[in-house]
Structure 1
């Protein structure tokens, strides 16, 4: 029989993992605990397995405990779990991208193995994610014995586990912010700059799209250094200085952003020249 798993916190990530683990027979979803009985029952319906419970006192021992709660609730939930059920020899893991498995110290003190598993994708539509999970990268770190159990389970549901350095977990999470959130911020600056030159927003988006799309495609195909083009890559710092001054006069905040991007771009150009 598959090892029993208790799901604590069943938002989008917890529900998706619970459904996939149950569907692929990786774990036997035993109990589901959330902030309220109705939400636990909804989660059980989505997962298709498990029994909804009202509190930690109702939890039964399990081989695996998944803490799919918010970052600020990981440590308190772990402490409550450690007080409620015996954990010696079990596995406790969370799904935070920003926090490492050391936030599960209460479980480790109780004799559990601990780990973190961070699926790298948006979970806005849980049903769609569950149906298209294959190929999803998951950053994993923690006790080797815990990962020896979790890694094959993740592979069974179609994930691609990638070991990460727990001491750099926050920097690892920032990588996603650079690749997603800050990329949007930089593109917004481009669109606003086009509009400052009198170009309508809709036209500006169409103008920027091929530049952005080709640049991203080149980064993923060739690497960032090889993909770099433009005045910094050419060493044309006179143009860079003129642009920086003009952008700063137009909009101080965007000018500061431009200025901040020059040194790392110049370093990228030096890497390109050194190849």
Structure 2
């Protein structure tokens, strides 16, 4: 039996993100009513993370759901929302949540025009599409953009998924997305370059060799950023294991 205050949740998109968020919400007691999945890979992923949840067509998911999660590529989001609005599928009072980093709730305007309640929630983490993400989600933050009256709903959903909400204004979503993309892409590129160099000189398991260094360097940089005292030269020196020069008394 569904507990009071629990939602019927439908998920459009069975990539790396949708099934994980669905599993997190299911763990909080919400009922996952269905998920859309096209490829065999996405169907397998949905079955692994959401066993027993039916694979449904998109119109049926929207019809059954109190909360619809649009976990689709950002390049497809605008057309999808508009097309479903043109078909008259969005329902008054229905929560519609998308997970695209660059967009706030403006992209959901066609659904809002039909009475749906818009939410933009982006988890700031790199997804694998496996149960490992459920653990990582517990240590992550989610950007929440929503009209003022419904911001608490977005924040509550994030907390129920185990993450921490961070409010991001509509006008700031592009900058937020740039920061997230920069951190993810540069981290991957730099680690890839460094491991390739070690491999080229015959170092076995270069990823394991660099792991402690990269993790400690990133943690130091994040701690310094939180304190507002980043000193790139000092962080780099410490990362190489060199002692900083002593201060003159």
TM-score normalised by L of structure 2? 0.73
Structure with greater Cα Rg? 1
Larger helix proportion of the pair:
1
Runs of 4+ in structure 1 over 6 Å off: 187-192, 205-214
Deviates more, 1:80-89 or 1:168-177: 80-89
For 1:73-152, what aligned pairs fall within 5 Å after superposition?
73-82=76-85, 83-152=87-156
Unaligned runs of 5+ in 1: 231-275
Report the Cα distance in structure 2 between the residues aligned to 1:139 and 1:212, rounded to whole angstroms: 25
Q: What pairs up with 1:152-171 in 2 under 5 angstroms?
A: 152-171=156-175
Query: What TM-score results when the alignment is normalised by the length of structure 1?
Result: 0.67
Q: How much does 1:16 deviate?
A: 0.4
**Counterparts of 1:86 and 1:125, CA distance in 2:** 28
Pair 226,127 (structure 1): closer, same or farther in 2 beyond 3 Å: closer
Closer/same/farther in 2, CA of residues 228 and 119 from structure 1, 3 Å limit: same
Contact 1:36 1:54 in 2 (8 A): no
Structure 1 residues 53-62 or 144-153, which shifts more? 53-62
> Match for residue 222 of structure 1?
224
Taking the aligned partners of 1:209 and 1:58, their CA distance within structure 2 comes to 42
Return the alpha-carbon distance in structure 2 between the equivalents of residues 42 and 208 of structure 1.
31
Unaligned runs of 5+ in 2: 235-249
The 5 A counterparts of 1:248-259 are: none
Aligned residue in 2 for 1:13 = 17
Secondary structure class of the residue paired with 2:115: coil
Contact kept in structure 1, 2:17 and 2:129, CA below 8 Å: no
Structure 2 match to 1:48: 51
